[in-house]
Structure 1
Amino acid sequence: MNDLLSPGSLVTIAGGVLTVVGSIAYASGNANLSLPTIFYGIPILLGGLALKSSELPPARRITPKSQLKNERQAATPELGKLLGDVTRWKYGQKAHLESSLESLKLWDEDKPPQLLEIEEICPSGHYGLRLRFACEAVPIQLWQEKRNRLSRFFAKGFEVTITPLKGDRLDLFLLPVGVSASDKQADAREGDSGETDSGETVNG
């Protein structure tokens, strides 16, 4: 569904429809319809295909927009900008947060890190984000070495915790200073004793 709804796909479909309609009109001798539709359709189709070739899909958004709405609005605006930036279609970029990762020296031109998903979390009532990366050619050890700089980079008053996962993946937690990512698991365990929180997502 995301592929179908991308801007590149919509432009390609529009150009394809115009081109087909113009070709049919030309074959049936309807010059008034065929000339303008082919004239506009082919460039639009080619433009759409060019967009598709440079398309970067949004990172998977784990937390629905309807959840944590108040916490999101009350949080530091840098987090909202980060969330919005990585959950939209990009063109001409190899990875989300490309310029940020380059600045942080967490970049490889051939196999850059890929942001797979982003989750809004609220451990102990403190709003933050969890970003899951596939490290690709950038070793996890380098991410850990850059942790202090990462903490200063995204938002003032926040710090980064890095949790290595299987393979070349890691979870990057961005939370207010003094708030531990482990508080999220504690909140989840407390929720299990009562009504299930539909917003809690279990990630493998």
Structure 2
Amino acid sequence: MSMMELSLTKPTITCSHHHHQFGFSDHHRSFLSVHPPLSPPTLLSSKRYRLKLSFVTRAADSTPTSSAPASADKAIVADDEFSLAKVSFGVVGLGVGISLLSYGFGAYFNILPGSEWSAIMLTYGFPLAIIGMALKYAELKPVPCLTYSDAQMLRETCATPILKQVRNDVIRFRYGDEQHLEEALKRIFQYGLGGGIPRRSAPILQNIREEVTEDGKYCLVLVFEAKALKLSDFEQRQAKFTSFFGPGITAEVGKGENDLYEVRLISDANSNVSSPS
């Protein structure tokens, strides 16, 4: 029988000191009998009572801990403005040249229409493809630029013309240079000269950052990777950074994470005074 029955007529639990004996009923039914301490006359009957057990599932009351994201002190300006300086002419030339060559050969062998134009497409497609391959080979990709909103507002009024030029040069494609700011680094670190460093140990520009100092001045941060150099190599050339990227700036150097070093070019112009650009 699947339901447990509770009978109040047969006492089956006996207790003697610390020994407890549990008994179950006889042959065909399995029920638990409980002898109450006081048996009212109304309960001493042969009528059996069935006890129905119901289980209620209750979810635990849990209060989720919501952690509000920490608001950034400065907003970052997205660099989504279109400019020809961000276009790779190597990719454009190579794509146009290969397209003209492919269609020109197809038209020449009558696979594609326009056979009368096949000679012109082959004539211009071949040099364009060669020029595109050469530009792609000599291409130097732009470095990432992180700009804060307060620094963007100060750029036009406080950044010196040289700082603006440095920023514009490193965030666009360049061709023929081995690395960004190659001429500046060559003069500052004096590759292969007495007191200088080997060319193979030259720092490599990884990214730049525009920010505002605590006293409200515009600052352009150059982040270099230099595994073969130490902080002292940058510190002893701090004055050279100031003189090369000046006038009107103060250079500060510092150590970043891993093998990264930061050169902070701080404009001396006050945020309340507009400097002509």
TM-score bucket of the superposed structures, by smaller chain: 0.7 to 0.9
- Give the Å deviation of 1:150: 1.0
- Give the Å deviation of 1:23: 1.4
The answer to whether the Cα contact below 8 Å between 1:94 and 1:112 also exists between their aligned partners in 2 is no
The answer to whether the Cα contact below 8 Å between 1:79 and 1:128 also exists between their aligned partners in 2 is no
45 and 140 in structure 1: CA distance in 2 versus 1, 3 angstrom threshold? farther
- How big is each residue's C-alpha offset from its partner over 1:35-76, in whole Å with a ceiling of 9 and x where there is no partner? 111111111011101111111011111117x76443111122
Q: 1:61 aligns with which of 145, 169, 172?
A: 145
Q: Secondary structure at the match of 1:99?
A: helix
139 and 48 in structure 1: CA distance in 2 versus 1, 3 angstrom threshold? farther
Q: Name 1:22's counterpart in structure 2.
A: 104
The answer to whether the Cα contact below 8 Å between 2:150 and 2:212 also exists between their aligned partners in 1 is no
The answer to whether the Cα contact below 8 Å between 1:113 and 1:135 also exists between their aligned partners in 2 is yes
143 and 130 in structure 1: CA distance in 2 versus 1, 3 angstrom threshold? same
Distance 2:228 2:116 in 1: 55
Q: Name 1:195's counterpart in structure 2.
A: none
> What is the TM-score normalised by the length of structure 1?
0.76
Distance 1:166 1:96 in 2: 21
Q: Name 1:105's counterpart in structure 2.
A: 189
43 and 133 in structure 1: CA distance in 2 versus 1, 3 angstrom threshold? same
Q: Secondary structure at the match of 1:63?
A: strand
Distance 1:63 1:83 in 2: 11
Distance 2:224 2:186 in 1: 15
CA RMSD of aligned residues (A): 2.4
Distance 1:129 1:60 in 2: 13
Q: Name 2:253's counterpart in structure 1.
A: 162
Larger Rg, first or second structure (1 or 2): 2
Percent of paired sites with the same residue: 28
Q: Name 1:146's counterpart in structure 2.
A: 237
86 and 135 in structure 1: CA distance in 2 versus 1, 3 angstrom threshold? same
Distance 1:5 1:14 in 2: 14
82 and 58 in structure 1: CA distance in 2 versus 1, 3 angstrom threshold? same
Q: Name 1:129's counterpart in structure 2.
A: 220
* Alignment map for 1:184-199 (pairs within 5 Å): none
1:46 aligns with 2:115: no
Higher relative contact order (CA 8 A, sep 6+): 1
Structure 1 spans left out of the alignment, 5+ residues: 180-204
Q: 1:85 aligns with which of 169, 175, 180?
A: 169
- Give the Å deviation of 1:166: 3.4
- Give the Å deviation of 1:159: 1.7
Q: 1:114 aligns with which of 196, 204, 211?
A: 204
Q: Which moved more, 1:160-169 or 1:113-122?
A: 160-169
1:72 aligns with 2:158: no
